[in-house]
Amino acid sequence: MMKKNICEHPNIVMIATLITYAIGIHFDIGDSTWGMIPNRLFMGLIMLRIMYYVAGREIFIWTKKSGAYAISRSFYQFILESITSVLCIENARKLNDNWLYLFISLFIFTLCVGFSEEVLFRGIIVNGLVKVLPKNKAGLCWVLVVSGFVFGFIHVWECLFNIGINSISVIVQMTNKTLFTGAFGMLLAAIYLKTRNIWICMIIHALNDFIASLAMLFLQRGVSDIQYVDVAKTMNSVTVFYTIIPVLLFSIPNIIISLMILKRLKPEECIFWK
């Protein structure tokens, strides 16, 4: 009975799971990376159960072909982020003697984030949008755009309460972060619909976050710095330039690749929601 109710109300399920996740991730055990891991893992397991209800067992099938396809479409992202990490690696010598401990904790944390967010945003949100939007190319395009926007905005929505502190800075950062993360979300959504492989999306997501987090680690900044907006930052022409250019460098190719994948999608093959 419960399974039937969940499957018959995709809008309610999408909203409820999104709110649950947005609130739930704040209940960390501590401020360290290890303190954030149990929370993401627990939230991911809850979302995984709901995804299983709405999409069924077939959504968990892994194939080498789909894995190779996904990696080839996201390779550009990894190359750029790897270059960024290499440029920052000089600062790695400033790390303390616990650098291996930091690397391991960061790797496990990004795995948990990739797992929990992919189950929610691709496994539930994308599937739900495909269910409720028109079953044509235009409908699939809206699936990519809406799911990407939601994915990007969920990382910055709390900053709406801080706009009055430093309005221009917060708005610019929120816009950039939503576009940057949203474009990556669009790519993952397109790959997911094309491959039907949620696992490869988790791997791409986790690897992307890990490489990006390494650069932040080398710069002696926290993991959360790549996720959220710095409300204390004062924007000027230089900081705006160095904020916007990287966003465009990553976002435009991701959007283009997403639309290229969309052209080859058959709407009738993208319906996973029961």
The pLDDT of residue 226: 46
Overall average pLDDT of the 108-120 stretch = 94
Alpha-helix residue ranges (DSSP H) falling in 154-197: 167-195
The pLDDT of residue 260: 94
pLDDT at 70 over 80: yes
Q: What is the pLDDT of residues 128-172, one digit of tens each?
A: 999 999 999 999 999 999 999 999 999 888 777 767 666 777 777
Q: What is the mean pLDDT of the chain?
A: 82
Overall average pLDDT of the 7-16 stretch = 89
Overall average pLDDT of the 201-215 stretch = 87
Residue 225: pLDDT band with limits 50, 70, 90: very low
Overall average pLDDT of the 176-197 stretch = 91
The pLDDT of residue 124: 93
Q: What is the pLDDT of residues 90-106, one digit of tens each?
A: 655 566 567 777 788 88
Residue 72: pLDDT band with limits 50, 70, 90: confident
Alpha-helix residue ranges (DSSP H) falling in the chain: 2-8, 10-24, 33-55, 64-88, 99-118, 127-132, 137-153, 167-195, 198-218, 237-263
pLDDT at 220 over 60: no
Structural tokens at position 193 = 């619909």
Query: Domain map of the chain by residue range?
Result: 2-269
Residue 88: pLDDT band with limits 50, 70, 90: low
Residue 89: pLDDT band with limits 50, 70, 90: low
- Sorted by sequence, the CB contacts under 8 Å of residue 54 that are 6+ apart come out as 6, 7, 10, 13, 124, 127, 128, 272, 273, 274
Q: What is the pLDDT of residues 243-256, one digit of tens each?
A: 677 778 888 999 99
Structural tokens at position 84 = 């960024």
Residue that the structure tokens 């945003």 belong to: 121
Contact (Cβ atoms closer than 8 angstroms) between residue 248 and residue 108 = no
pLDDT at 223 over 50: no
The pLDDT of residue 147: 96
